[in-house]
Chains A and B, each alone.
Chain A
Amino acid sequence: DGGITQSPKYLFRKEGQNVTLSCEQNLNHDAMYWYRQDPGQGLRLIYYSQIVNDFQKGDIAEGYSVSREKKESFPLTVTSAQKNPTAFYLCASSTLAGVSYEQYFGPGTRLTVT
């Protein structure tokens, strides 16, 4: 089965610790994205990547970092510099061919920092 996996589903961390969220896809998609969702809010773009070893800041990149060493993988690190890290994090991927650029989402990681 092709799809996107994110792990873990729930993550708890103490304030001041960096934490890395995993995102893997086997859809052979070129583009990958990280979004943050807060209760009752839309999806806000953190980082995106359209090719290996290249990525772009989204609308709320401060306090986050990413890497894209492999086409299949796009891990997100939430650093201690992120002032309000508790949120639902969603990873997505899409092809860059075709028309719709439909994004396929993983199940998400719910991060709680106390």
Chain B
Amino acid sequence: GQSLEQPSEVTAVEGAIVQINCTYQTSGFYGLSWYQQHDGGAPTFLSYNALDGLEETGRFSSFLSRSDSYGYLLLQELQMKDSASYFCAVRVRSGGYQKVTFGIGTKLQVIP
């Protein structure tokens, strides 16, 4: 099976930078995704890393190290609206199929 670990809660100040880590144990690994979910809402896709390195999209960046089974999401210039839960998810091969397994999520609270 797959297992993912990420911190359950993080608090950061508006305007600051925060890093949310994710470690995983899995076989048949294809890539690591990040999703954002506001309370009561649906998750929305933020980023995907299949190869080692950093991917930048605006204020958000995501990093992957396949050899370390580790990735992180970096949020810069934090805004109050960034308060949400952030999930890492691994895409893996499962038999002849591909499936996605999510972590438990990190609840980010941005404070003034």
The answer to whether A45 touches B101 (Cβ under 8 A) is yes
The secondary-structure label for the interface of chain B is: strand
The answer to whether A56 touches B105 (Cβ under 8 A) is no
The answer to whether B100 touches A103 (Cβ under 8 A) is yes
Q: Which of A11-19, A20-28, A74-82, A94-102 is near enough to bind chain B? A: A94-102
The number of residues on chain B lying at the interface, defined by a beta carbon within 8 Å of a beta carbon of chain A, is: 26
Could you tell me the distance in whole angstroms from the C-beta of B31 to the nearest C-beta in chain A? 7
Partner of A101, one of B43, B87, B98: B98
- Docked Cα-Cα span, A107 to B38, in Å, equals 12
Any chain A CB within 8 A of the CB of B11? no
User: Which residues does chain A contribute within 8 Å of B42, judged by CB atoms?
Assistant: 90, 105-108
The answer to whether B99 touches A100 (Cβ under 8 A) is no
Partner of B100, one of A40, A99, A101, A106: A101
The answer to whether A105 touches B102 (Cβ under 8 A) is no
Determine the residue in chain A with the shortest Cβ distance to B50. Answer: A99
User: Which residues does chain B contribute within 8 Å of A56, judged by CB atoms?
Assistant: 94-95, 97, 99
The answer to whether B48 touches A42 (Cβ under 8 A) is no
22 A-B contacts, Cβ less than 8 Å apart?
Answer: A35-B102, A40-B104, A41-B105, A42-B103, A42-B105, A43-B87, A43-B102, A45-B99, A45-B100, A56-B95, A59-B101, A90-B42, A90-B43, A99-B50, A100-B31, A100-B45, A100-B50, A101-B31, A101-B91, A101-B98, A101-B100, A103-B35
